[in-house]
Amino acid sequence: MLCREGLERNHECFYRLYPREGLAVRRRSRERIALHGRRPRVSPTQANQRWSVDFVSDQLSDGRRFRTRNVVDAFTRESLAIHVGPSLPGSVFVAVFDQIAA
């Protein structure tokens, strides 16, 4: 605010003025992680109980980007599907899941 009003001072002067005026810089509080209400994640006990999806993006030497969507079984760690393309629309995503389920 002092800079906006035209007072050109270095930052050390401002640091001395703050305590003298009884002011304090607001400190940001850390976000608290809820300790209660969380349930532990249940590990899968058999295949096809939980699938994980991961998106990976990379760039070719000519500058074109491509993306891969990997579907992995969380129990067996087996890759169920890898879909590669320049864009991965949701309709294709649903078709891949239907194909895996079948």
H helix runs in the chain, sequence order? 11-20, 90-101
The token duo for 79 is 């890759």
Contact (Cβ atoms closer than 8 angstroms) between residue 66 and residue 78: no
Mean pLDDT value of segment 35-61: 87
Q: Is residue 28 part of a domain?
A: no
Q: Is residue 40 part of a domain?
A: no
pTM above 0.95, yes or no: no
- What range does the domain containing 57 cover? 51-101
Token pair 């994640």 is at which residue? Answer: 41
Q: Is residue 76 part of a domain?
A: yes
3-state secondary structure of 68: strand
Q: Is residue 26 part of a domain?
A: no
Contact (Cβ atoms closer than 8 angstroms) between residue 65 and residue 59: yes
Q: Is residue 94 part of a domain?
A: yes
Amino acid type, 15: Y
Tens digits of residue pLDDT in 79-95? 999 989 888 888 888 88
